[in-house]
A = this chain, B = another copy of it.
Amino acid sequence: MCMRIGELAARAGTTARTLRYYESRGLLPGRRTGNGYRTYDERDLKLLRQIRTLQDFGFDLEETRPFVECLRAGHPEGDSCPASLAVYRRKLDELDVLIGELQSVRAKVGAQLAKAEQAREALAADAAVPGGPEPVCELGGQEL
């Protein structure tokens, strides 16, 4: 029922270094045995898995804090508390904004690509025409 840092890390798919880091940030408790080793139980594993899940979603460590505190307060789930729900909502808003921006960028880059490809095709077509292309000065003068 108890385990040391290496085992907990392995069971959560992370590293001991990461757990020490979380502890330094005040997220993971850190009880000790007589010899100074950290010791953890199943509740810590649940805590840690909550953190990792949120991290995988792209939450900052700080944003996982309400969830952790909620669990530590004895609630059944990390998102049983209002503060956690607030983080969810804030994150949803952030995601909506970000996704919108990325879609906008995607559209612009796509348009630029289409334009540039078209320009190249026009050049290629010109070059293929026996009459010769307009002297557009493209690729002119200075070599590399």
Task: Point out residues on A near B: beta carbons under 8 Å.
Answer: 57-58, 69, 72-77, 79-80, 84-85, 88-89, 91-92, 95-96, 98-99, 102-103, 105-106, 108-110, 112-113, 115-117, 119-120, 136-144
Most chain B CB within 10 A, of A96, A116, A141, is at A116
6 other A-B residue contacts (CB within 8 Å) besides A69-B144, A79-B115, A99-B106? A73-B139, A74-B139, A79-B112, A89-B113, A92-B106, A92-B110
State the oligomeric state as a number of copies: 2
Find A108's partner among B57, B85, B138 (CB 8 Å cutoff): B57
Find A139's partner among B75, B84, B120 (CB 8 Å cutoff): B75
Main SS of chain A's interface residues?
A: helix
Find A144's partner among B72, B98, B115, B120 (CB 8 Å cutoff): B72
A75 to chain B, nearest CB (A): 7
Most chain B CB within 10 A, of A98, A103, A105, is at A105
Residues B113 and A80 in contact, CB atoms below 8 Å apart: no
